[in-house]
Structures are given as C-alpha cells and as structure tokens.
Amino acid sequence: MPRGVRQLHVRYSYNDQIDSDPLITGGNTLDIGLFDERGIAPGSRGYRGWSGSEKMAFTIDAEWATPPYRAEAIGAGTWHVMLGPYKVAPQGLEYRVEITFNASLPREERVVLRSGAPSRPALPRAAKPGWIRGDLHCHTLYSDGDSWPGEMLHAATEAGLD
C-alpha cells in the first residue's frame, strides 16, 4: 500500500459461482477478507474484516467501511487479501482481484429495515427457571443477512425472544 491512500476499494470475481449452501455442488465459492499493514496473525490489529462470498466488492476509508469491514486510516505497507476457496469445482477455480486507490466512492446508504419500539407477541408459557428463549445463530449485514445488529435484536424481541 503506497503512502497517501485515503480510500481502498476491492472487487473480485471468479468462475462458475454458486451459493455457499453446502448441499449445492458443481461450482465455486470463494470467500474474501483483508488484513492491513499491522499483521496477519490471528487476533492481530491488522484484521480489517471478512465477508466470505456474500460481498463481491467492499470499500474502506478512515471514516466508513462496507460492513463487516473496519473503517480506519489506510496505512502504508504490505496488506494482504485473504482468499478462502470454500468450494472448488472439478474444472478448477479462476479468480480476479481488482484493487482501486482513492476512487472517492460515496459512503454507502445505511438502510434501516426495523425501527421504533418492538411489540412483543403473546408468549407461550414461561421457560423453565434458568432458561431463556434465544437464537443461537443469526445473520446480519456483517455476514449475509439483511439487517443491522440492532435491527436483529429488535426482530428477536418482536419474536418473543429474551
């Protein structure tokens, strides 16, 4: 990464693209993520994000970033694009990664799907003492969902979860 870069835009593509559903086969699913100049070690401060195969492009600058990537100043040095070949077709996986500096892309629109006070439904009998109702696995805009984390909590309340 050269000095003076204010914004980084990464776009990638690959052949025979299929969904990440483990039951779908015959094509490719390629995940992507990014580390900055501060390192690639697990838990390193250099970790900028991982979007799997859900986002085919993302942008990072000091003030904002495409979820789930982290906004922060763009430091000079060696950066690393992580590619995770989740599925590879028998015919192989061909990919292309394009990186653009200082494209002055506008901040992405933050669409809010749910707002206001959540309304709780009539609940079935209370859970046994020591138990709560919850969801152990959900997706937000930080993966392949359609809602911000706060909206997911809102929806959980409306579904009667604790």
Quick one: tokens of 108? 């992405």
Q: Is 11 in the same domain as 89?
A: yes
pLDDT for 103-138, tens place per residue? 888 777 666 666 677 676 666 666 778 888 888 888
Contact 94, 55 (CB under 8 A): no
Residue 1 forms part of a structural domain: no
CA gap 65, 68 in Å, rounded = 8
Phi/psi class of residue 39: alpha, beta or left (left: φ > 0; alpha: ψ in -120 to 50)?
left
Residue span of the structural domain in which 155 resides = 114-162
pLDDT at 80 over 80: yes
Question: What pLDDT was estimated at residue 41?
Answer: 85
Quick one: tokens of 8? 């980084």
Q: Is 69 in the same domain as 92?
A: yes
Could you give the number of structural domains in the chain?
2
pLDDT at 147 over 80: no
CA dihedral 150, 151, 152, 155 (to 10 degrees): 130
Pick the more confident residue, 28 or 143.
Answer: 28
Which amino acid belongs to residue 62? Answer: A
CA gap 17, 29 in Å, rounded = 6
Contact 136, 46 (CB under 8 A): no
Residue 127 forms part of a structural domain: yes
